[in-house]
Amino acid sequence: MAKRKRKKKLAKAKNTGAKPSYAKFIALFGLFFVALFAIILFTSDDRSWQEYIEAGDRAHERGNYAWAEKMYREALQYAEQQGKDDPTVTETWRRLNRLERTRSRATP
């Protein structure tokens, strides 16, 4: 049934001399790529910080404290590039402090 409708539209377009318009499709496609590019451009630094934080959290949960500290320190470097007053700096220090508290409880 869908093929019949398409054939009718094409036949109608041929009879009237009009060509099928893809302008809306091209405009939406272009808008999508512009939005995607903007998202990637503006979130790349936070994404790297987030990846280090998540890796540190996973290592912390597994008890691999040395790797967790390394990941948190990497996240801290990214956060400090944003400025000392950035909230990610505070969050990273909070996680480092939590790691030290966990370490002190784990060692006799």
Residue-wise pLDDT tens digits, 61-80: 999 999 999 999 999 999 99
Domains of the chain and any CATH numbers: 43-108 (1.20.58)
How far from chain centre, in Å, is Cα 65?
A: 26
- Closest by CA to 68, choosing from 82, 57, 79, 77, is 57
- Closest by CA to 46, choosing from 100, 97, 92, 101, is 92
| 108/25 Cα distance (integer angstroms) | 66
Listed range (8-17, 61-70, 99-108) with the worst mean pLDDT: 8-17
In the numeric block, the tokens 């934080």 are attached to 53
